[in-house]
Amino acid sequence: MELKRVVVTGLGAITPLGHTVASTWEGIINGKSGAGPITQFDTSKFKTHFACEVKDFDPLQIMDRKESRKCDRYTLLAIRAARDAITDASFNLEKEDLDRIGVIFASGIGGIKTFEEEVKSYSEERGPRFNPFFIPKMISDIAAGQISMLYGFRGPNFATVSACASSTNAISDAFNYIRLGKANAIVTGGAEAAVSAAGIGGFNAMNALSTRNDSPETASRPFSASRDGFVLGEGAACLILEEMEHALARGATIYCEVAGAGMSADAYHLTASHPEGLGAKLVMKNALEDAGMRPEEIDYINVHGTSTPVGDISEAKAIKDVFGEHAYRLNISSTKSMTGHLLGAAGALEAIACVIAVKEDVVPPTINHEEGDNDPEIDYKLNFTFNKTQKRIVNAALSNTFGFGGHNASIIVRKFVR
């Protein structure tokens, strides 16, 4: 069976750096941090007082008040990003076969704010009184369902849940469904809204979050010796993946081609990555093999790079092992240093960063690295694109995402050549 080619024809995002792809990208290439004091709840009793929040989001911009109250914040963010991506793709939905358009949309945690609020209300009232929308607001698949219902998309419809790899897995699944001929187009990506007492408290209990409360903007510092944990982020990112001939036939603007995807497991630890990066090496090799590409053909890697003590070391080791001498000719960067870690939405946002890097031949920076702040276990001959955006030809880019449970997913995008 000859596999169909898959292209990207639409992008949408709402993030700590802006409510659109354009404003988010402007913040990224200018090295802007989205971190600041948390405004959604009182953090005075918590070890971490800051996060990368989406600012000034009004759900009434996308639906009326009655309908918005049926949705968790993560779903509202998902709908906003999907709306923009679908608009960007310029579909004429009256002419499309809606049976052949699907939605595969991820969330690592789902409606944690709804869960927290309902359980707290139940505890305080001391009675079994729950909102009838509690379950459909909370579950991780409901964003995918809501998007499909809003637009009448009747193709493949589900959510992927693999912690921080969730939305890269969603994109990978969308890619495979389309190239196997099971859909013409799929709305894919991820959303997360875990900036809550449960979210911050839970990650604090694991000592996973930075506690640099005196300087939130500089707290996410991947590959620096002084890194002390990740900065929690929220938001949503969406890509329209489309079968190439279908996109060309309708005159769509094509951003790039999805070349390949890989998955693997660390099979090692509940939360920590393998110290030698075994799962990370395997997932990048799998993505390259799937794309039919050699390591030397990759120009840029958007790394998982969360700013955790163990994870950054193991990923740097894995890149050196997979790419050999070419690793020193690559550009590497972690956009999480600016956006924070969007958990289940991180992969989709970082995929968008790769798409635009390929389209515009520019590599975004890894911010917050100070001269001399070097970890002896990291090879600084690698080009981590510290602090400043770099112009270079980017024919192909790889995006890595690694999740708790040892879930690893990578995708490769490249310039579209018919």
Q: Can you name the residues that pair with 397 across neighbouring β-strands?
A: 300, 413
The vertex-211 CA angle with 210 and 216, nearest 5°, equals 80
Q: Measured in whole angstroms, how far is the alpha carbon of residue 10 from the centre of its chain?
A: 16
Burial 225-254 (b: 16+ CB within 10 A, else e): eebbbbbbbbbbbbbbbbbbebbeebebeb
Q: Please provide residue 380's backbone torsions phi and psi, each rounded to the nearest 5 degrees.
A: -85, 10
Residue type, 214: D
Task: Count CB-CB contacts under 10 A for residue 323.
Answer: 22
User: Both tokens of residue 41?
Assistant: 């709840």
Q: Residue 23: left (phi > 0), alpha (psi -120 to 50), or beta?
A: alpha
Q: Measured in whole angstroms, how far is the alpha carbon of residue 384 from the centre of its chain?
A: 19
Is-contact 363 389, C-beta < 8 A? yes
Distances in Å between the Cα of 251 and the Cα atoms of 52, 94, 95, 103, 245 are 37, 16, 13, 22, 10
Q: Which residues are marked as active site?
A: 164, 304, 341
